[in-house]
Structure 1
């Protein structure tokens, strides 16, 4: 049987791109989602993940347009000034699973308008609620356009990023790391481009911030014990299961992001960051190992069980202990975790060197 290609299901995205109402958009998302579930065992994981994120991008872009229509019908009128709807997190990296939650924000024009604050306060809340209706769980960390921290004018965003750069404590550095994965979805692209330009210009102005980012990067839970055995959850409802997200996926994302940012790589995709890093240092086997480990992490994340409640998709992100008994899978996981540990140790050495050089 000939392998399926992008073209086999690409036409169905037209239904998402031109959905006339929230109900139609939700139905088309669910329809396309069902096709993607069936394709998981057919396509290579990188291609499948790309298709999944094509769907999320188109749903989000259409949701922003429907949000404008609905607010206009409710008496708010059209947007008073240009805006850019952007995404962060796994969406920013185009690594979302079928059930990833919301990670988004708004960049508003600096143009003055008396209704700007009122309109975009309503727009942010309405869009976040609309995305929940469409199946996207709200972010527990509140990285959403409904929150003032992630909904600002371009000038206010620039001030916010400057403040983050001056505070080396955990939370501001974490926010800066989240922001580094920003990607444009809908609206005025020039606002997102200006945002990105300011972010990249200011990133390396403080060596202390680079060290703070590295300090945040090397903090993650143990995944292999001294005997090389996979460390699973000890307590709670997931006792005996393996935490794919924080055990293997996030450590790789964070490590590769740090290395890419140090080289001035503007890509947000982890795989594209690895491609660029490999071009810069083709003799480094670490990047080849990281790519293999990362593809395994994507596969395991996509295979995690999920639930649908009131049309909202969610997943624990854990690999059941029953799956860990399958030797081929266990070997792949252990190989990936060995790469995570080696990468982690290399960055720990870099951190010790950086901290020794501090005054």
Structure 2
């Protein structure tokens, strides 16, 4: 960040003395970013917001480590990496994104020390998730959280789990693998997260059947554009008449680009970064890259117009956008962007299965 106010804010976050001070800073970040939202190019907005959130998460982890030290549990017994998945892993968090996290730590050979290490990292993960919830980040509804034993373990167990998901690629296992593909180290030993990626991409190469399974998951969410070019609105409930921007525009494009990137061995997790990597690899043309990127930027911008809620101290959002918020020009741009998304889905389907239904 070059903005002096933003730089000072990051410094304040990095030196926050406790959870209360950090909570005030998180609220300040959200208020500030909301105020300047319309003034910044969309990528700059997301970069600044996610840089601030990264700083908040790092400080929360540091405070959690200090809490364990005060409890008499000492320091981390071995190196570890704290991972963000979902929009956090892709550095595409909005003002109300929830927690999607994991933890990997170095193997400990001694059985006694390994049990002590397990207790330490179990408690650390618990404290981190609690602290982030106190800072307004809701828990992941799917329980993809570091305090879930399936998402916080030593590297060797991660290897066994990932290998198992590839060997038995049921729907849920494939969903977990796609979550892992978005993983990014936000704190700790970066090399451990890279070792996880080594395991993942080696298994992708050794299990070609996984392409079909990942395609099924990738195509689950369709763009909200009907056969006659009309926008598909919610039919029932309190959101009737609204557009599901998250699952009808943003997620379909995220999923399609991610699958193409996985098949090319691309480790970048940002969606726009993945598009650039696919262009560099010759998988897509410059014209395709430009149209996909422009459509994705539009979806990122419109995501910021969905209804934000602040309930029980948590920032939440269901990803719905009231059509009344959109001008005729916005609606036409959205339709054009959705056509790009639909074309991209068709391309991914053809590339992986040879036909499109």
Normalising TM by the smaller chain, what interval? Answer: over 0.9
SS in structure 2 of the partner of residue 84 of structure 1? strand
Change (3 A) 1:311 1:206: same
How many residue pairs get aligned? The number is 351
Rounded Cα–Cα distance in structure 2 between residues aligned with 1:16 and 1:104: 20
Rounded Cα–Cα distance in structure 1 between residues aligned with 2:334 and 2:231: 8
What is the CA deviation profile of residues 322-352 of structure 1, one whole-angstrom value per residue up to 9, with x for unaligned ones? 124x101101110111111111122222343
- 1:335 maps to 2:336: yes
Q: Is the 8 A contact 2:223 2:252 kept in 1?
A: no
SS in structure 1 of the partner of residue 137 of structure 2? coil
Rounded Cα–Cα distance in structure 2 between residues aligned with 1:276 and 1:143: 27
- 1:21 maps to 2:18: yes
Rounded Cα–Cα distance in structure 1 between residues aligned with 2:58 and 2:8: 17
Rounded Cα–Cα distance in structure 1 between residues aligned with 2:40 and 2:305: 13
Alignment of 1:1-359 (within 5 A): 6-111=3-108, 112=110, 113=113, 114-281=115-282, 283=285, 285-324=287-326, 326-353=327-354
Q: Is the 8 A contact 1:13 1:32 kept in 2?
A: no
Q: Is the 8 A contact 2:14 2:56 kept in 1?
A: yes
Rounded Cα–Cα distance in structure 1 between residues aligned with 2:280 and 2:192: 30
Shift of 1:74: 2.3
Q: Is the 8 A contact 1:101 1:136 kept in 2?
A: yes
Rounded Cα–Cα distance in structure 1 between residues aligned with 2:60 and 2:306: 27
Q: What TM-score, normalized by structure 1, do the two folds share?
A: 0.93
Q: What TM-score, normalized by structure 2, do the two folds share?
A: 0.94
Rounded Cα–Cα distance in structure 2 between residues aligned with 1:90 and 1:25: 21
Rounded Cα–Cα distance in structure 2 between residues aligned with 1:128 and 1:174: 22
Instruction: Output the aligned Cα RMSD.
Output: 1.7
Change (3 A) 1:214 1:151: same
What are the ranges of 5 or more consecutive residues in structure 1 without an aligned counterpart?
none
Shift of 1:45: 0.2
Shift of 1:200: 2.1
